[in-house]
Amino acid sequence: MARYGVCLLAFILLFAVAPCPSSSSASAQQHTLGAGSSQSVEDHDRPFLTSPQGTFSCGFQDAGENAFSFSIWYTDAAEKTAIWTANPGAPVNGRGSRITFRRDGSLALDDFNGTTVWDSQTSGKGLSVSLLDSGNLVIVSDPLSSGGSPAVWQSFDWPTDTLVPSQQLTKHTKLVSGYFGLYYDNDNVLRLHYDDPEISSIYWPDPNPNISPFQDGRTIYNSSRTGVLDDDGVFLSSDKLRVDAADLGPGVKRRLTIDPDGNVRIYSLDASTGAWTVTWAAMAQPCSAHGLCGQNAICEYQPSLRCSCAPGYEMVNHRDWRKGCTPLFTAVTNCSPAEQRVKFVEVPHSDFYGNDLGYNQSVTFEYCKKICLDMCSCAAFSYRLDGGGTCYPKGVLLNGYTSSAFDGVIYLKVPFDFDASAPAVTARSTEGLACDPNVSVTVQGSQAALFGSSRTGNGTKWTYLFAFAGVLGVLDLVFIVTGCWFLSSSRQSMPSSLALKAAGYRMVMGQFRRFTYRELKHATGNFKEELGRGGSGVVYRGVLDGGKVVAVKKLTNVARGDEEFWAEMTVIGRINHINLVRIWGFCSQGKHKLLVYEYVDNESLDRHLFNTDRTLPWRERFRIALGTARGLAYLHHECLEWVIHCDVKPENILLTREFDAKIADFGLAKLSKRDGGRDSLELSHMRGTTGYMAPEWALNVPINAKVDVYSYGIVLLEMVMGRRVSDQTTADGERLEMPQIAQVLRQVVATGNVVPLVDGRLQGQFNPRQALEMVRISLSCVEERSKRPTMDDIAKVLTACDDEDEHPAYRS
């Protein structure tokens, strides 16, 4: 009883002290202020207010050179990432500006010369301003019940680009970043829009008019139009959209933000480093957002976001991609007889979304071409082989994108005598993208990088750099943090098929499913026919009920519980690229962990390359090298979660009947047992295979995608030589170490004489230009890590020397 009393006393004391932590010391941070309080921008080092538990702070935040905004941020976030900003796009001077809770009851932000840049438009006696632990900045009438009595004003009602847990998105609010917005449409569906003064279009959920919101799992019947992110990381919307953060569960600080690239992401805060990690994104392909590149331009993501003009077009304003591109030729006005006057330039893996002049199914390519020829207003047509040939003539070329995962081809109409192969047609984003001092865009992304503002002395010349350069930076950041997440997160995650649905992966996920152990036992005839075995498990041939032939891999060494395995699989299951082995599903029942893969016909590369009975012809080798590079580039740069393979070797490169490369076993690095703690990026050192492992595996450094680049370099060299690199010996029979091999390669590259290195079995039947390029790439891949190229660079170089396809973009 006495003990109980002591506890109770302690309890009471705690509560008695808790509400007023600031009273104890003068310098402690305030969470409530009364009328007359103010802070000048010179004091930006300390927050204006801090929430009672210290979760959030508000105050002046750096927004460029000598420029500040008044914002709220998570106290632990390293970069003070704003979750709300009073004056987005209108920063105040770093000298003389002031935030004041005025005696008339309004909170106001004044610039150096006394101009009020923003105010809360409230008034009344006895009001106070508080920052709550939810991140809500409120103005209330009774300071003692700031949690209880309704707020006269609250920042939650005026979101900028971000929602924090418990903050509702309503029919009256929207999240905005530049011309991109997330809000409830008139039909009650939450959508992403691109709205500039001239063009408005929806790009999420799937804007295809043939797909109703219902197919995306949404409903139009609930008119309450509310959405809220909860403390577990679930965003639930009244239109039935449900998305789950990958690190589902309580105790994590999160935010949902519309980024300057038009994508919406959920970020989770790593409390120890203050860094943000992407745990969900609305779109896997950054270029799916509309409006990134303007008319007649094409958005490409490899390895960072880029715009380029379509062949035959040039940039309108060298500083602003949103102005798009203009034709280098004069438009074909006299349409008949059309065939004599125009031709078509092919741009593979590309499309311009929307603005179709109609659409016809089950027509031949020639017919589709004729439709476009006959239509004067047709600027291009897209032809896809799905459903027996679908034809989309295009009037205006907007929302262009290129993605290696996209199978369609766009054919641009140009004058017959137009030389599309002339080089002047593209203006790469690297030049002239940066900034137009005269473009004044309201960039609400809050990332300081997006603002290029300068003050000349007392002058007030504000200049905003358009966000594109910033977008690039943000995206790179996003991908870096996602990579870390994918590799390092081992938080408990829960399954959610709904989340996947919401992520817009309908097509990709369509056939991905969970199997029971019994089903797979049946499909493989009780694991009868073994196809191969490797470090991660044994592979069996199986036939599913529908007759589909699959490869079933029984995983050994999986240290994951059911739910965690589920979560990892849903990530791996989303990955879809022609050069990656497709995963149809998985089984996770207790100790049984199995993966169901697409069956690839023609064995792995090692069996063809190192086989003494047959010789893999050069053409195929090059094709495999290119396919493998594209597959890895996709893993590294294009998919939502940046995936590092960690075990690239010929055994993991499978070949189809046509000798297309398909990489196997990606994503497994995450499933294997690890020896490090959960914060370490090191995977189990059992990953990787001797002879293909980058030297940094042996060092105690975080692993990044460059380990795959190294391994790829070795495989590439093996394709040139037709022998294992690790088997190379000197004349005396001593094993050649990598530095010596690199020395040989350096010589080959310097002299240009590649013949002695090339597989003798080819008997000179090879393309020396390609071989030399492959050696050059190999050499750069085995350099010290910072000097290695990215897989994307490699894919580009190889594509450029693909003789079957010299200039894919300009073939007419």
Task: Give residue for tokens 């086989």.
Answer: 611
Q: Is 708 in the site for ligand NAG (CB under 6 A)?
A: no
Q: Select from 230, 601, 803, 805 the one that contacts ligand NAG (CB under 6 A).
A: 601
Backbone region of residue 339 per phi and psi (left: phi > 0; alpha: psi in -120 to 50; beta: other values): alpha
Q: Is 711 in the site for ligand NAG (CB under 6 A)?
A: no
The Cβ-side half-sphere exposure at 523, using a 13 Å CA radius, reads: 27
Min separation Cβ 632 and ligand NAG, Å: 23
Q: Is 115 in the site for ligand NAG (CB under 6 A)?
A: yes
Contacts of 10 (CB under 8 A, 6+ apart): none
For residue 746, the tally of other CB atoms under 10 A from its CB is: 13
Q: Is 608 in the site for ligand NAG (CB under 6 A)?
A: yes
The Cα-based distances of 292 to 133, 301, 465 in angstroms read 36, 11, 15
Q: Is 322 in the site for ligand NAG (CB under 6 A)?
A: no
| DSSP codes of every residue in 626-691 | HHHHHHHHIIIIISSS----S--SGGGEEE-TT--EEE-STTGGGTB---S-TT--PPPTTSS-TT
Min separation Cβ 438 and ligand NAG, Å: 4
Q: Interface with ligand NAG by CB under 6 A: which range of 119-127, 453-461, 480-488, 767-775? A: 453-461
User: How many chain residues touch ligand NAG (CB under 6 A)?
Assistant: 21
Q: Select from 28, 104, 113, 326 the one that contacts ligand NAG (CB under 6 A).
A: 113
User: Of these residues, 647, 665, 759, 792, which one is catalytic?
Assistant: 647
Q: Interface with ligand NAG by CB under 6 A: which range of 155-163, 219-227, 589-597, 692-700? A: 219-227
Residue 661 vs 668, nearer CB to ligand NAG = 661
Residue 238 vs 304, nearer CB to ligand NAG = 238
The Cα-based distances of 124 to 139, 152, 475, 721 in angstroms read 10, 9, 44, 83
Identify any residues that bridge with 360 across adjacent strands, giving them in sequence order.
391
Q: Is 337 in the site for ligand NAG (CB under 6 A)?
A: no
**Residue 241 near residue 502 (C-beta atoms within 8 A):** yes
Q: Is 602 in the site for ligand NAG (CB under 6 A)?
A: yes
Q: Select from 657, 698, 731, 733 the one that contacts ligand NAG (CB under 6 A).
A: 657
Q: Select from 19, 34, 126, 358 the one that contacts ligand NAG (CB under 6 A).
A: 358
Min separation Cβ 394 and ligand NAG, Å: 13
Q: Could you confirm whether 606 is annotated as catalytic? A: no
Rounded Cα–Cα distance for residues 293 and 241 (Å):
29
Taking the alpha carbons at both ends of the chain, their separation in whole angstroms is 91
Q: Is 123 in the site for ligand NAG (CB under 6 A)?
A: no
Q: Interface with ligand NAG by CB under 6 A: which range of 132-140, 222-230, 413-421, 473-481? A: 222-230
**Residue 66 near residue 460 (C-beta atoms within 8 A):** no
Residue 362 gets which letter from DSSP?
S
The Cα-based distances of 366 to 240, 312, 370, 372, 397 in angstroms read 43, 22, 6, 10, 21
Q: Is 226 in the site for ligand NAG (CB under 6 A)?
A: yes
| DSSP codes of every residue in 622-638 | HHHHHHHHHHHHIIIII
Min separation Cβ 647 and ligand NAG, Å: 24
**Residue 265 near residue 180 (C-beta atoms within 8 A):** no
**Residue 806 near residue 340 (C-beta atoms within 8 A):** no
Does the bond joining 423 to the residue before it have cis omega, within 30 degrees of 0? no
Applying the rule CB under 6 A, the residues between 427 and 446 that interact with ligand NAG are 436, 438
Q: Select from 150, 457, 510, 733 the one that contacts ligand NAG (CB under 6 A).
A: 457
Min separation Cβ 210 and ligand NAG, Å: 13
Q: Is 53 in the site for ligand NAG (CB under 6 A)?
A: no
Identify any residues that bridge with 58 across adjacent strands, giving them in sequence order.
49, 72
Contacts of 52 (CB under 8 A, 6+ apart): 18, 19, 21, 31, 132, 133
**Residue 65 near residue 454 (C-beta atoms within 8 A):** yes
> What is the β-pairing status of strands 400-402 and 297-301?
parallel
> What is the β-pairing status of strands 98-101 and 116-119?
unpaired
Min separation Cβ 706 and ligand NAG, Å: 32
Any known ligand binding at 554? yes
Rg, C-alpha atoms of the chain = 30
Min separation Cβ 391 and ligand NAG, Å: 8
In the complex, which residue's CB is closest to ligand NAG? 457
Q: Is 222 in the site for ligand NAG (CB under 6 A)?
A: yes
| DSSP codes of every residue in 409-459 | EEEEEEETT--TTSGGG---TTTT-S--TT---------GGG------TT-
Residue 121 vs 460, nearer CB to ligand NAG = 460
Q: Is 359 in the site for ligand NAG (CB under 6 A)?
A: yes
Q: Interface with ligand NAG by CB under 6 A: which range of 270-278, 457-465, 568-576, 702-710? A: 457-465
Q: Is 511 in the site for ligand NAG (CB under 6 A)?
A: no
Q: Select from 145, 460, 516, 740 the one that contacts ligand NAG (CB under 6 A).
A: 460
Rounded Cα–Cα distance for residues 334 and 312 (Å):
19
Min separation Cβ 483 and ligand NAG, Å: 34
Q: Select from 121, 149, 200, 224 the one that contacts ligand NAG (CB under 6 A).
A: 224
Min separation Cβ 62 and ligand NAG, Å: 19
Q: Interface with ligand NAG by CB under 6 A: which range of 74-82, 202-210, 250-258, 358-366? A: 358-366
Q: Select from 5, 36, 114, 510 the one that contacts ligand NAG (CB under 6 A).
A: 114
Residue 76 vs 356, nearer CB to ligand NAG = 356
Which residues does the annotation mark as catalytic? 647
Q: Which stretches of the chain bind ligand NAG, using CB under 6 A?
A: 111, 113-115, 222, 224, 226, 238, 358-360, 436, 438, 457-458, 460, 601-602, 608, 614, 657
Residue ranges for the binding site for ATP? 554
